[in-house]
Amino acid sequence: MTEQLTKDQRLIKQYEHYMVHIRNFSSDTVSSYLRDLNQFSTFLSSSGGGDLLTVSSRDVRLYLAECYDQGLKRKTMARKASSLRHFYRFLIMEGKLSINPLEMIEVPIREKHLPEFFYEEEMRQLLDGLEDRTPLDLRNRAIMELLYATGMRIFEVEHLTLRQIDRANQMILVHGKGNKDRLVPFNTHTQQALTAYLDEGRPSLMTQADEPHDFVFVNHRGEQLTTNGFRYILNDILKRSKLGGTIYPHKMRHSFATHLINRGADLRTVQELLGHRSLEATQIYTHIEQDTLKQAIDQFLPLQDRPVFDVKRKDD
């Protein structure tokens, strides 16, 4: 039993090195994958199913069945299966296995929800309601304009440095998922907001910093702004706007993509701007467009209050 666990942990350790140093996965992704792998390894050892190298498709099905019996949501089960699938692809790449035991496994379908987004007038109200009185106001405006105009992920904005911004050409070199870089342009509103913040707001905030650094967005102590800090700022802006509803960084990204699609931008362009690896991830915004069109029909087409014509069958 101990040898099996030791062998499993050795494989998991090798995979962790691959995720961190080769693929540059985020710390959250690495933690999630490792947790899923360790749970699967524990299941195998406790059920007599062997180890990670001798696992069969039947073992995987039994594991997923146990997850189902525990009441796990389909989204969680799908993530666990995805973690295992990626791990075994790594083992095949390393020459330790020739067949992925998950290739023939039917992963539980995740419930697909259309992402939330702000309508154009809602976004206008949010942006128009921002103030410019203090260094923190200038920072908040720059954050909002940047999130909306570029569709950047929050971790991309959190780790954004001064050297990545080309103000003259209105371009940002974005360090995205999997260490994939992309160039994203930004509009004049964002340029003006960034200029005011970087020339006036940030220098004032940095006087409180213990040591200099290049991170663009900082808190009142001149320290790098965290994800929780961004969330607090967005919630405060929404509260002041009196719009209601919810706000979170990815909702700004969804709004960016949705507005582009609704205004006629092609999917390939939006895919490139968002940094999506596949077009499939971008296509969900076409569903939002269809829903928006249907809503427009229901809201603006006249004569909607007429009685619905009821076709009577001859034999009625």
pLDDT, tens digit, for every residue of 71-122?
Answer: 787 778 888 888 999 999 999 999 999 888 887 776 655 455 678 899 999 9
Long-range contacts of 6-12 (CB under 8 A, 24+ apart): 7/51, 7/52, 7/53, 8/41, 8/44, 8/45, 8/51, 8/52, 9/41, 11/52, 11/53, 11/91, 11/96, 12/37, 12/38, 12/41, 12/52
Q: How far apart (Å, rounded) are the C-alpha atoms in residues 146 and 160?
A: 11
pLDDT, tens digit, for every residue of 119-158?
Answer: 999 999 999 999 999 999 999 999 999 999 999 999 999 9
Measured CA to CA in angstroms, residue 196 lies from 145, 167, 232 at distances of: 12, 12, 22
Spatial contact of 226 and 173, defined as CB atoms under 8 Å apart: no
Q: Which bin fits 93, alpha (ψ -120 to 50), beta or left (φ > 0)?
A: alpha
Measured CA to CA in angstroms, residue 89 lies from 43, 78, 96, 148 at distances of: 20, 16, 10, 36
At 175 the three-state DSSP class reads strand
Domains of the chain: 2-93 (1.10.150), 120-299 (1.10.443.10)
The pTM score is 0.60
Among residues of the chain, what percentage have pLDDT more than 70?
A: 85
For 179, counting Cβ atoms within 10 Å of its Cβ (0-12 exposed, 13-18 middle, 19+ buried), the class is: exposed
What was the pLDDT predicted at 262?
Answer: 87
pLDDT, tens digit, for every residue of 190-246?
Answer: 999 999 999 999 999 999 999 999 999 999 999 999 999 999 999 999 999 989 889
**Residues annotated as catalytic (active site), given as ranges:** 153, 177, 250, 253, 276, 285
Instruction: Give the number of other Cβ atoms within 10 Å of residue 31's Cβ.
Output: 12
